[in-house]
Structure 1
Amino acid sequence: MSIHAKAGHLLASVVVASALSFTAYAQYSGPSTVGKGTVAEILSNPVDDQAVQMQGHLLRQTSHDKYIFSDGTGEIVAEIKAKHFAGQAVDEKTKVEIVGEVDTGMTRPPEIEVDSVRVIK
């Protein structure tokens, strides 16, 4: 077997192993250290980079990747990249779960930097 064929097999093995490891990560449903705080708690005592997981609604889009999120206790800006919607249809009536971290700033109120969005059925 030539060195090019061996390299091709090695590359294919790495790609398959990587794909399988991402699938396993996405399906994890065990315990987590992600906090389940509320918008009101975050606004009253923001902690930069604090992990959060909340359920509520995206009330409106304010810019390209910024949305107003509400869990019923208050409203906060959620920064969500298009890829995090993963093709899910979401409007202001759709209940979603967002997971991300608090992002504080010196000249603006805290925001949530969202890592994932999941529609709650």
Structure 2
Amino acid sequence: MNRNIQSIVVALFMLAGTASAANAQTAAYSAPAAATPTAGYAGPSSAGGYAGPSGVGVTTVKQLLATGFDDQYATLRGKLVRYIGGKNYVFADSSGEMRVEISHKYFPNSQTIDANTLVEITGEFDREFVGQSELDVKQIRIISK
């Protein structure tokens, strides 16, 4: 019985820490509201980086959600159509939509991305068996405005 109570207390502290971190992120980040995705975001990014060919081929949202595996690196080409809070956006291509998580540090420096900007995103796929799978984006490249 004592071990169960201890596990519950630890879980509550972990949840409280996650909520505090989420609140801190929300307070420090002023992104467009979900109702106004065309405002875009112009955020900091490290200058430079690798721009050559990649072994990670471009796939589609539908294909990634159907056959992707946890921790797989994937590249998608489409648009960030909606901001949904925190680091989360809805990404869409011609095959469908999915949730993506993008830290502000990965947005291109001094360039605004809105719902009409064609981008290529690369990141780590987080396969969820309960809940929504998402792509944890590590790189954004603007294809066209």
> CA deviation digits over 1:42-80, x for unaligned, max 9?
121231111111110001001111000011101000100
Residue of structure 2 in register with 1:92 after alignment:
115
Distance in 2, matches of 1:28 and 1:116, equals: 11
Amino acid at match of 2:77: Q
Query: Offset of 1:108 from its aligned partner?
Result: 1.2
Q: Identify the range of structure 1 (39-48 vs 62-71) with the bigger mean alpha-carbon deviation.
A: 39-48
CA RMSD, Structure 1 to Structure 2 (Å): 1.6
Shift of 1:28: 4.0
Q: After the TM superposition, which of the residue ranges 32-41 and 94-103 deviates more from structure 2?
A: 32-41
AA partner of residue 119 (structure 1):
I
Distance in 2 of aligned mates of 1:111 and 1:76: 7
| Equivalent residues, number | 97
The question of 1:80 aligning with 2:102 is answered yes
Where structure 1 has 5 or more consecutive residues not aligned to the other structure, the ranges are 1-21
Q: Percent identity?
A: 35
Residue 47 (structure 1) aligned with residue 69 (structure 2): yes
Paired letter, 2:99? V
Equivalent of residue 93 in structure 2, options 59, 64, 71: 71
TM-score normalised to structure 1 length: 0.73
2-structure distance, mates of 1:92, 1:76: 14
Query: In the alignment, what sits opposite 1:11?
Result: none
Is 56-65 or 41-50 further displaced after alignment?
41-50
TM-score (norm 2): 0.62
Q: Deviations over 1:11-49 (max 9, x none)?
A: xxxxxxxxxxx95xx13403x221321100112123111
2:82 equivalent in structure 1 = 60
SS in 1 for 2:106: helix
Structure 2's unaligned 5+ residue stretches are 1-46
Aligned equivalent of 1:111: 134
Q: Could you say which structure has the larger radius of gyration?
A: 1
